[in-house]
Amino acid sequence: MAAERLDMRCVREVLRLHFLSKQSPRKIARSLGCGRTTVRQYLSRLKRSNLTTWEMVEKLNENDLEVSLGFKLISKLVLYDDKKIMPDWARVHEELGRHRKLTLALLWQEYLEKHPEGYQYTQYCEHYRRWAKKLSVVMRQNHKAGEKSFVDYCDGPSLVDLKTGELIPTQLFVGVLGASSYTFAESTLTQTLPDWLSSHVRMYEFFGGVTEITVPDNLKSGVNKPCFYEPELNESYRDLSQHYNTAIIPAHVRKPRHKAKVEVGCLVAQRWILMCLRNQIFHSLEDLNDAIKALLKKLNLRTMRHLKKSRFELFEELDRLVLKPLPATRYEFAAWEKARVNIDYHIEFDFHYYSVHYTHAHERVAVRATSSVVEIFLKGERIASHRRSYIKGKPTTLAQHMPEHHKTMLKWPPSRLISWGKNLGPSIGQLVEKILASRKHPEQSYRSTLGLLRLEKKYGKERLEKTCQRALELGAHSYRFVADTLKNNMDKTIVDKDKQLSFNPNESNTRGPEHYH
């Protein structure tokens, strides 16, 4: 914006409302009758300046305020003075990255103590900004040591199938530390959740620690619902962040500058790793990653042109000492699913059935499963834990989850129930066997069969035997069919109809076989 067209009174009022009234850009714009974009531009310039309080702003005249906010450039004749010693801007930049609370104001004071005739504060800041503009986009972001790591995928080299000669594409996972640009890379076959999380684990182990924040792209494996304000993370990804005590903050959608560090990291990895491998053929992922590991070491040892130091040197100076320590145990991949507790107080996961306490029937729960354990959570609280079973269609039931009468039933072996049924009648025993074989869970079968056998006390052996025979003929292998039939006296109706339909040759109005010869 041209200086002559700038209303510094409006700028000063925006800063006053920002500092003293803590107003949002929207409210400031409404109060002053100017555009929100203009207000945001002023506040953006304020953020890039070294003005941190209203008292500092209030002391400046309009000319100095314009210079401090970058509206007005200092004359080159004043800015560059051969008689004054220029600071070592690479060291200044490194110091700012190493110490989070360090400011240019303090560094300028230290510089002035050594060089009393040196540049004044405004010129000092302007020199640094001009120097920083010559760096890459990543360097200009001035990340703090140990604060952020950035992760993303790019296309990796293809493997060649030994049998068919088919090309198998791979994905190159790249992780970059914000302060030092120390880089990790490896190839995976897919971008699916297990590969995504496993690459994070190996990245943290390569760094030897964990950053406070991990910044991914809005990859579907990690982010269920991208959102500018509150992106929804995948449960397994959130699980990993809790295990390593790092905050997952995805970059904004369609904002590559928000993860410029890894964007450049991917570009560097493609240039110095993938291009070096372009003429080599790999048949296995292990061989490919061994080759990547060797080139990655060279990449991190290369001296960066502007900073005159390698990524590894910066990592040793900046990041290594301030990274959070790795947890005692390595993260194990865990899949999360939603489930509903069935009436039989079991949930289904991977075609196996796991019990919870019977009082949780019909509840919606979350299931967390590793390769060895299945955990069930209700409203964030774990209510059951089982050793994982891979036997499909079978139940895993804990006795403490069952009602007392179900525990009593389980003490009865199936052979005892079948024997009891056969003593009452052959059809009863056969139906008991059918019911026991038809249910997924033993407690369901025992309850049904015991109910069936107890019908004999109410309706007698004869009626129960005939009804069970009818159930077998119709394929209705359930307690409910037999109970309803007996309750409604339908077994007697069936017998009467059979008598009516039976053939009686003595009746005069009935034609015999000889009639049809």
pLDDT digits (tens, 9 = 90+) for 461-513: 889 888 898 999 888 888 889 999 988 888 777 655 454 544 455 555 555 55
Give the amino acid at 23: Q
Measured between alpha carbons, how far is 493 from 186 in angstroms, rounded to an integer?
Answer: 76
Domain ranges in the chain are: 3-68, 76-134, 148-319, 335-402, 407-501
CB atoms within 10 A of CB 418: 17
> Confidence class of residue 324 from pLDDT cuts 50, 70 and 90?
very high
pLDDT digits (tens, 9 = 90+) for 72-127: 654 443 455 556 788 888 888 877 766 666 788 888 888 888 888 888 888 888 88
| Alpha carbons within 13 A on the beta-carbon side of 392 | 2
Chain-centre distance for alpha carbon 321: 28
Full-model pTM: 0.51
Class of domain 148-319: alpha beta
pLDDT at 211: 93
Find, among 151, 148, 154, the residue nearest to 216 by Cα.
151
Chain-centre distance for alpha carbon 469: 56
> Confidence class of residue 55 from pLDDT cuts 50, 70 and 90?
confident
Most confident of the ranges 8-17, 225-234, 439-448 = 8-17
Q: Is the pLDDT of residue 377 over 60?
A: yes
Mean pLDDT over 247-261 rounds to 62
Measured between alpha carbons, how far is 53 from 477 in angstroms, rounded to an integer?
Answer: 82
DSSP class of 325: P
Angle between the N-to-C axes of helices 490-501 and 479-487, in degrees from 0 to 180, rounded to the nearest 10: 80
Mean pLDDT over 252-267 rounds to 62
The token pair at 48 is 């890039």
Contact of 207 with 220, CB cutoff 8 Å: no
Q: Which residues contact 357 (CB under 8 A, 6 or more apart)?
A: 345, 383, 384, 400, 401
CATH architecture of the domain with residue range 3-68 = Orthogonal Bundle (1.10)
Mean pLDDT over 140-146 rounds to 69
Contacts 24+ apart (CB under 8 A), 238-245: 239/331, 239/334, 239/336, 239/368, 240/197, 240/200, 240/201, 240/331, 241/214, 243/327, 243/331, 244/200, 244/204, 244/210, 244/324, 244/326, 244/327, 244/331, 245/210, 245/324, 245/327
- The residue with greater pLDDT, 3 or 245, is 245
- The residue with greater pLDDT, 404 or 294, is 294
Q: Is the pLDDT of residue 386 over 90?
A: yes
